[in-house]
Structure formats: structure tokens, C-alpha cells
Amino acid sequence: MTQDATTNQSFRPIIGIDLGTTNSAAAYIHNQNPAMLEMNNASFMLPSVVLRDPNGQVIVGDDARSALVAMPQYTKSAVKREMGQDTRIELGNQSYRPEEISAMILKEIKKQVESQLSEGEIEAVITVPAYFTNQQRQATKEAGELAGFVVERIINEPTAAALAYGIQNMKNDGHILVYDLGGGTFDVSVVELMDGILEVKASAGNHRLGGEDFDWALVDWFAEKVIDEHQIDPREEPRAKARLKEEAEHVKKQLSFKEAVDVSIPVATVSGNRPIGLETTITQEQFVHLIKPFLAETQYNLEYVLEEAGLARADIDDVILVGGSTRIPNVQKLVTDFFGKTPHSEINPDEAVALGAAVQAGIKAGTLQDSGLIITDVAPFSMGVAVAGEIERELVPGQFHAIIDRNTTIPVTRTHTFSTTFDHQTAVTVEIYQGENDWVTDNYFLNEFSLEGLPAKPAGHEAVDITFRYNINGILEVTAKNASSGNEMTVTIEDAIDRSSDDAFADSLANIEAAYGQGADNTQQLDHWSEIDVTDAMESHADLLKEARDWKDRLQEAFNSNVDNDQSASLQDVINQLDAAIQSKNAITLNDAIENAIDLAINLEL
């Protein structure tokens, strides 16, 4: 372990993590520069996919991604889009919160970090989209803690990318725009670099816009082709849907450097034991048409963020493209045409966020204290309270009063004074929201609390000071104070979904430990499963086994008929594969053998 990866006092490693929708990555400071850390696939990118196989083993990364088609009911991808939601995700016969799935991804990253730097406690700076809500930020922080990290800071992804740029361009003062289009989210930020101070001026974006949407647009296009030809919708069957999604990802990448791509899916789905395939061609022009609405939204956000920053297009000195989806030629063209200049390309768009997070980690730890780089960020949303406002001389409740405006530089503390609304009022309820709309019903509810013990006086004669403190980690603290009585109440909005105690965190931690505990000894898995779990797992395997046996019988029948030697050899080879898969009872092996059997049946027109 190098000293660059540690703090001077604790010698505890500190790293930067890009927890992405499609891929995740980590970096650290080595010899005064950010450097990527290898993942379990000898690559810097770890696919953000989790598999909990029928034996209960948790697998993260490439192998999990490979199982998306074979075992869609046991795998989860793009969990980032569900962070902060009150939902459960089914992996086989177990269900998990989004934070717990993300924690499994982060746990794999921690394992790789420990193998390269040091075992034990590791500090982390984790990035989130600039447009993540407070709840989504806290869910990300909790995921890191569940994985065993000491989460020191949550920073915005475009801010991190700007740090990666800034550390290499300290002498280039000016305005920088970061266009971050990833797998599942889009952010755009304007930052100003001046004498080593990197100040975020404004941010905008959409936390549900990215390459995933492009993939699903292609899936729908593929599905319509199948429907037109066969009157069957392959999206209705999970494995078929996963197969189309896999092909969509491949086609999207190919269209980044090809004018047209042939789409060949021998078995898009199966109907009545009859394979239904898809053979077509899609052009780059057709693909651009499919994603045009999404790109138009990113351009709207470009215009909006410039307006928020009080700048014109000509005021932007440099443009940085971040995220894998910026490799799409039309994305690059949109940005180039908008600003009239070619974006910077010296930083790998897949690595920029992780590298920047490592820079922030290095600044925090003191290993980059000589760099002279200082960073300030902004609040992504306005935050305030519900008030009763006067409309046509009547008090109407439910109006939104912002206390901290969006794009305010943080950390920040703001106080507003409000008065009682009716006679002899002895308590106030403080309802806290974030958003940009005039009415709280259209904004995002964060929390509420009551302040009691106010002196009973006529309406408007008693004052309550509401103070909002918003820190660099995106943690909001709200205090209500009545000067007359001295009564005061504070709530810190830093807990995940409806977590009023440590019980929910402990439950999540136990869930994850149980998942990894089950996977540790697969020979005794069924002893830990409930009767329902065992039955469901057996039924899932039974379906695959039956399908494999059916194909084996069908090919054996063809083999026993009069076929030429070449066909006999091919048939025998696949029959042997099916037989071995049936003996192994392994879901992935069974799926591969079935796929090979279907391909052969199509080739031989059986």
C-alpha cells in the first residue's frame, strides 16, 4: 500500500467510486495523480449487474451480466435508477431494497480494493448524478456503508469529472461545461476554474435519461418487427426480452462506427416449440430517429444550465464529454454544433468520474494538498417549506416557500422568519420539500416535524425562525426555533426511506450478510432455504431441464433418421452438450445448450 492511498493520521486508504448504472469503477491517488483500480475482470470497469444464482451465491460483474438472458429472474441490472425508492427487487426467491443490491456491487469493489491496497477500513468518496434527490443521495451513502466503506463524501458526477480535468489543467482559467450522458442518467454542469478554485456555477439534468433508454428504444423497434412478421410480442417473455436487450446493447455500440448493422437473432422467442427469429437491418439514421427525443432533452438542459449560470454559449471555454453514451456520433455532433467547438477527448469518458472522485478523496485526505485545487458545489434543487400564502385576501395552505434556492453554492445556511396563521396557535408543523414548483403537491416531500409550546397569542404575533443548513455531502438539517419560548426542534434529513432508527440499516446489513453467507457453502444451501424457496428454485430448474430434454429427444429423432455425415456429427455434438447440461443441472449451462440446439435446428431446417 502506498502512502498516497492513505491519510497521514490513520493510514486508512481512501478511494473514489463511480457507482454507475451500467458499469462501476474505482480510483485512488498514486504518485500525486489519480489512477484507476482493476476490477475482478482485469478491467477498470465492473458491470453493475448482480446475480443471486439458484444456489444462493452472489455474483457481481461480467458473469452476472452473462446470466441476464439465461436467468433474468435471478439477476438485476441498472439498479441505480431505483435508488431511493420504496421498492423491493426480486432475485430468485429473495427480495432486496435497491440500496442492498447497490451494496453488493460496492462490496465487490471493496474486495478488489483490499486486494490491491489494504484490508480493513476503507474510506470512500462516492459520486451521484447532480440531479439526484436528497433521498437518492442518502440511499447511495447507505449502500456504501452497507458494503463496509466509511463514506466520507457524496459528490456530483459532473463535478468529479471537472476535478479530473482541473487537476491536469490548473493553469487554464475559464468556464468549463461538463456534458455527462451515462447508462442511466444525464447531467450537465457549468464550472469555473480560476486560480485553482473550481466553482460549480449551475447544474441541470435528468436522473432517468441515458443509454438504457436508447437500448429500450431499440428493443421496442426489434419487437415491432417480430410482431409485424409473426404476431407475437417477444417482450412478454422475460428471457426473450432479455435477449432483445442484449442485442440492442450490441447494435447501439456498432452503430457508433457503422452506417448500418445487420440484426440477427435466430431465436428471439419460442412459440409452440417453434423458434421465432429476427433478421433485419437498422441504419444509423433510423437509430438517431429513435433517440432524437432524448437528445432534444439534453439540448434543452444545455440551454437551461447556461441561463442558470448567466452565461452565453460563447462564454464556455472548454467542453468535456463524460459517460459511455457520449461515444454516439450524434451526441458528439449535437454538442459540437451547439457550442461551435470540438469537446475535449483526452480524458476517457468511462473513467473521468472515478478519477475525479479520487481527486476529491486525495484533497480530503491531504495527499493532494500541494495541488492548490479547491472545489465548491451547488444545491441541485430548491429546498423549502409549505406555507399558507394569501390569494385574493384569503390564506391558502400548500404553497411552497424556498429557503435555499437551486444552484446556491454549498455549504450554505439560510434562515427565514414566519409567523403564526391563526389566533392562539401553540404549535407549528414544518413540512419540508425540494423542487421548483409553486405548490408543494408538485414537489418532492422530504420530511416533517412539529414545534410545540408557542405562547398563545393573536395570529401573526408569534414568530418562528426556520433555518436550513445544507452541507457538501448533500445532508440537509432543518431547525425551527421560537424566540419567545426558547423552544427549538431540529431534524436531519440524512436517513434512507422512512428510517426512524438504526433498525432498518441493521436489517439491510443482515440481509446482505445472509446472502453472502448462503453463497459461501453451496453444498448446504438448501438447508437454509424455506420450503417455498426450494420449491420455486426446483420449478425454475424443472422448466430448463424439461426444455433441454425436449430438444435432446427432437435432435435424437433427427439423428436416427437418414441424415448425411456432416449433419450427424453436428447433431451428435449438440446432443452430447444437452446431455452434459442435463447431468450438470446448471442453469447457465442448460441455457447455452438449449440455445445451441435451437441454432442447429434452424440451420438444418428441422
Catalytic residue (one of 18, 351, 377, 431): 18
Identify residue 204 by its one-letter amino acid code: A
Locus of grid cell 465487490: 108
Catalytic residue (one of 4, 53, 76, 80): 80
Q: How far apart are CA 50 and CA 52, in angstroms?
A: 7
Q: How far apart are CA 357 and CA 36, in angstroms?
A: 11
- Cell numbers standing for residue 222: 426489434
Identify residue 474 by its one-letter amino acid code: G
Exposure on the CB side of residue 230, measured as CA atoms within 13 A? 19
Query: CA 73 → CA 220, 280, 390, 525, 601, distances in Å?
Result: 21, 28, 53, 19, 27
What is the distance of C-alpha 192 from the center of its chain? 27
Three-state DSSP class for residue 316: coil
Identify residue 424 by its one-letter amino acid code: H
Backbone phi, psi, residue 341, to 5°: -150, 155
Backbone phi, psi, residue 158, to 5°: -65, -30
Would you call 438 a catalytic residue per the annotation? Answer: no
- Cell numbers standing for residue 458: 393573536
Would you call 599 a catalytic residue per the annotation? Answer: no
Catalytic residue (one of 4, 152, 157, 192): 157
Query: CA 191 → CA 12, 173, 306, distances in Å?
Result: 31, 11, 11
Backbone phi, psi, residue 445, to 5°: -75, 130
- Cell numbers standing for residue 399: 404553497
Query: CA 164 → CA 123, 322, 440, 444, 449, distances in Å?
Result: 19, 11, 38, 32, 41
Would you call 595 a catalytic residue per the annotation? Answer: no
- Cell numbers standing for residue 480: 425551527
Q: Are 127 and 160 in contact (CB under 8 A)?
A: yes
Report the candidate in 339, 368, 357, 387 with the shortest Cα–Cα distance to residue 176. 339
Report the candidate in 297, 204, 212 with the shortest Cα–Cα distance to residue 23. 212
Catalytic residue (one of 4, 108, 145, 180): 180
Would you call 225 a catalytic residue per the annotation? Answer: no
Q: How far apart are CA 108 and CA 16, in angstroms?
A: 14
Which residue numbers are catalytic?
18, 80, 157, 180
